[in-house]
Amino acid sequence: MSWTPQRLLRLAARLSGQPEVDARVVEGVLGARRTGERFASSLNNDGSPLQICVSLRGDGQSVRLVGDPHADVRCARTRAIEAVRCAYQAARRWGAPSARPLLHATVSTVLPPAVRYHLLDHGATWLGARAAGGEGFAAYFTLGWAPEPRRPEIARSWLREVLVDATEAVGFVDAIQGATVFSAAAIEGHGAEDMRFKLYVYLRQPAVIYDLGVPLLERERFDDFLNVVMQKRSVGLDGLLLSCAFDRAGRPSAAKVDLCGHCLAHGRETWRQLVDTVSESQGIARFPWDVLADAPTIETGFVGWAVERDASPRMNLYFKEPQDDC
């Protein structure tokens, strides 16, 4: 690649305990640079196509890179074809054989037919992989190409394809479709036995999130996270993203909310204080802020809070490096 956000990659290496991030991981989530064009990704607010996702749990942290492959390609159809090819390569490289038919079912159901890839004018997929390499990958596929009224049925069709029993997941779609806009469908994991199948939605209008019937969402700790992180600030409807994950059997496995860090506009020191407060109150590992000491341009793109099936909380921090600073 001719372009890499060096400070962001150095941060990923430090966080994952590596001397450097393997170039194959970077190229795996971004694709090989094909043009000299400026990146035009919807992953970050400035069009940059790469994030670090740090997941903080009670027992420590994990670090992933998330990229928008071939975001420098201007032809929507070419960009989508190449991005989907990257998704299959990620499944071969970091997934078990049992992951591949599930990926194929997702591509076939969630995206339009290849002859209509020109509709994917903001890209087809984002890809995630462990910064240190190793088993497991993630692929997030947009529903944005489809008219909003069609998206719930696409989601239901996908869930019936990939889940052993889609009854509860389809019921979730039925319950929230009036109040939300379906944004994306995703698979995360190594193979069928640990794969998660996730739906992402935005609120259609202001609503009480607990009234939506999102499985597993626990009000007290969720309120704690929101009150601490938002500090009475507000985000637009597109600045709050809800997701629910199901395992292969069709059981809810996690619920999550992501907030736009750019919208909240906290400074570095404020983020440190707020995130540390959530970690302390919820028994989550602290983020090692010292690793950012020599990276003043690194920004907090999103912050997320999730609850797992076993009721354990998780906080995700997403970092980005503006492409003009790379």
pLDDT tens digits for range 228-242: 999 989 899 999 999
Burial state string for 157-182 with b = 16 or more CB within 10 A and e = fewer than 16: bbbbbbbeebeebbebbeebbebbbb
Say if residue 273's pLDDT is above 50: yes
> What does the pLDDT look like over 189-203, one tens digit per residue?
999 999 999 999 999
The helix/strand/coil state of 269 is helix
Mean pLDDT of all residues in 174-179: 97
Look over the chain and give the mean of its residue pLDDT values, rounded to a whole number: 95
Triad 45, 282, 65: Cα angle to 5°: 35
Structure tokens at 10: 């150095």
In percent, how much of the chain has pLDDT > 70?
Answer: 98
Q: Measured between alpha carbons, how far is 159 from 155 in angstroms, rounded to an integer?
A: 6
Q: Measured between alpha carbons, how far is 125 from 138 in angstroms, rounded to an integer?
A: 10
> What does the pLDDT look like over 292-317, one tens digit per residue?
998 999 999 999 999 999 999 999 99
Q: Tell me the DSSP string of 219-242.
A: HHHHHHHHHHHHTT----GGGEEE
What's the count of helices (H) and strands (E) in the chain, helices before strands?
A: 9, 10
Paired strand residues for 186: 140, 198
| pLDDT of 218 | 85
Mean pLDDT of all residues in 73-95: 97
> What does the pLDDT look like over 12-69, one tens digit per residue?
999 999 999 999 999 999 998 767 788 999 999 999 999 999 999 998 999 999 999 9
Compute CA distances 24 → 11, 21, 72, 180, whole Å.
17, 8, 18, 37
Mean pLDDT of all residues in 122-137: 97
Q: Measured between alpha carbons, how far is 131 from 76 in angstroms, rounded to an integer?
A: 28
Q: Are 58 and 283 in contact (CB under 8 A)?
A: yes
| pLDDT of 325 | 62
